[in-house]
Amino acid sequence: MSEYFSNIKIGATTIATGMGITLKHFFNAVKRKGDAGIDDADYFRQVDGLCTLQYPKEVIPTPPHGRYRLYVNIDDCIGCAQCERACPVECITIETIKTTSDDLAVCGKTSGGQQKRMWVPVFDIDTAKCMTCGICVSVCPTDCIYHTLVADFSEFNVKNMLYHFGNLSKFETEAKKKKLAEQQAQAAKEKAAAGAAPKPGAPVAKPAPKAAPASQQNEGQESA
């Protein structure tokens, strides 16, 4: 009989202890760990309070040295394609058009003062493939491709993960290609004409001796 009441006592004590812990956490839940901020040295030492955040209304800030979504400042891009070649997962696609001589001023210079010699109609980064390794950033000679602190850029449609940074419209691209082809054709024509014309100071080729009339040739043969 005494064992019977002892078991009831143990059960009641266990329930009371459990409920005490539950109520303690219940009342502590008015506190938020997020209130301290992720940058706070004590953030991960906090025992009490809710650790979940009401995302996306509440977001833990990304660390300033983090590597997240890439961005290309296309105004500073010289179209060297080093980033494209260096990318281990081939998620960068670049197409360039050589600038014609009369377009150099329009093409402009980088913020570092370097003359740009390439139009970059296509500069796509497939962020669905990008593993944010940062190799493209490290090889860029003008520092125009870099990581941003944008960490959440999820999409319902994977096609929207393809980011375009090109600096020409379709119409402009065709016009620039046509202009370059015309200039190259003109240059080839001028080169061919220069090659055909005698160089100044070069020995003038003597005209080939005229062939003797057929009657004279016959005379010579007969006398022989």
Site map 94..123 versus ligand SF4, x via CB under 6 A: x-----------------------------
Smallest distance from ligand SF4 to CB 125, Å: 6
Q: Does 80 bind ligand SF4 (CB under 6 A)?
A: yes
Task: Catalogue the E-assigned strands of the chain.
Answer: 70-72, 92-98, 118-126, 145-147, 162-164
Write out the binding residues for ligand SF4, residues 120-149 only, by CB under 6 A: 125, 130-136, 139-142, 144-145
Site map 185..224 versus ligand SF4, x via CB under 6 A: ----------------------------------------
Site map 149..168 versus ligand SF4, x via CB under 6 A: --------------------
Contacts with ligand SF4 by CB under 6 A: the residue count is: 29
Smallest distance from ligand SF4 to CB 106, Å: 18
Radius of gyration of the CA atoms of the chain, in A: 39
Using an 8 Å Cβ cutoff, are 139 and 94 in contact? Answer: no
Q: Which is nearer to ligand SF4, 33 or 136 (CB)?
A: 136
How far apart, in whole angstroms, are the C-alpha atoms of residue 74 and residue 162?
16
Beta-carbon contacts of residue 100 (< 8 Å; ≥ 6 apart): 176, 179, 180, 183
Task: Catalogue the E-assigned strands of 40-117.
Answer: 70-72, 92-98
155 to 45, 57, 127, 162, 163: CA distances (angstroms): 34, 18, 11, 11, 12
Q: Which is nearer to ligand SF4, 107 or 145 (CB)?
A: 145
Q: Which is nearer to ligand SF4, 33 or 144 (CB)?
A: 144
Using an 8 Å Cβ cutoff, are 96 and 79 in contact? Answer: yes
Write out the binding residues for ligand SF4, residues 40-79 only, by CB under 6 A: 70, 72, 77-79
How far apart, in whole angstroms, are the C-alpha atoms of residue 36 and residue 159?
38
Mapped onto helix, strand or coil, the DSSP state of residue 97 is strand
Give the residues lining the site for ligand SF4 (CB under 6 A): 70, 72, 77-83, 86-87, 89, 91-92, 94, 125, 130-136, 139-142, 144-145
